[in-house]
Structure 1
Amino acid sequence: MRNIRIALISFGIAGLAMSAQARELMPNDRYMCSWGAGTAARAQELKLAGVSLYAARQKIHSYKFSKSWMRMMAMGITEQTYDSPTRFKPEAVRQSFYNDCVKYKLARK
């Protein structure tokens, strides 16, 4: 009887874990992660090319953004990228940012 109870509890916990992992991102969240990953990759390209943070900020100010939150988010992502000592290729930064963003968005749900 005790073994059956332990088995049922184990299956119940496994079922909860599987349902938590099956959540999907909303299209807006997926877009935000994709956009942020592209921004991080562009910032890494500028950093590796030797462009100063000041010049990178000026480039961001010259861009036209479709949403009001994008300019400040781009500034934050760029500053964090420049503060990081990594010398990863931009594509690796893009993939890492996207994966971490998706994990964060899923964990919030």
Structure 2
Amino acid sequence: MRSVMIALMSCGLASVATMAEARELKTNDRYMCSWGAGTAAKAQELKLAGVSLYAARQKLQTYKFTKPWMRMMAMGITEQTYDSPSRIKPEAIRQGFYEDCVRYKLARR
């Protein structure tokens, strides 16, 4: 009897954990993660090309952003990218940023 209860409880916990991981992100969250990943990749590309942080900031000022929060977010992502000693390729940065962002958004739910 006790082993049956333990088996049922473990199956129940496993199904709850699976449901928590399978939750979908909102479209806005996916867009934000994708946009941030692209921004980080672009910043890494500029950094590896030898463009100074000042010049990268100036370049960001010329971009037209569709949402008010994007400019400051892009500045923060660019500064963090330049502060990092990483020399990883921009595509790897894009992938890692996107995966971490999605993981963060799911964990917040």
Q: What is the match of residue 61 of structure 2?
A: 61
Q: What is the match of residue 99 of structure 2?
A: 99
Q: What is the match of residue 19 of structure 1?
A: 19
CA-to-aligned-CA distance 1:43-81 (integer Å, 9 cap, x gap): 000000011101100111111111100000000000000
**Cα distance, 1:22 vs structure 2:** 1.1
Q: Calculate the TM-score normalised by the size of structure 1.
A: 0.98
Q: What is the match of residue 87 of structure 1?
A: 87
Query: What do you get for the CA RMSD once the two structures are aligned?
Result: 0.6
CA-to-aligned-CA distance 1:8-50 (integer Å, 9 cap, x gap): 1101110110110110010000000000000000000000001
Structure 1 stretches of at least 4 aligned residues deviating more than 3 Å after TM superposition: none
SS at match of 1:106: helix
Q: Calculate the TM-score normalised by the size of structure 2.
A: 0.98
Which letter does structure 1 place at the counterpart of 2:48? L
Q: What is the match of residue 52 of structure 1?
A: 52
Structure 2: gaps (5+ residues) = none
Identity of aligned residues (%): 76
Structure 1: gaps (5+ residues) = none
Question: How many residue pairs are counted as aligned between the two chains?
Answer: 109
**Cα distance, 1:100 vs structure 2:** 0.4
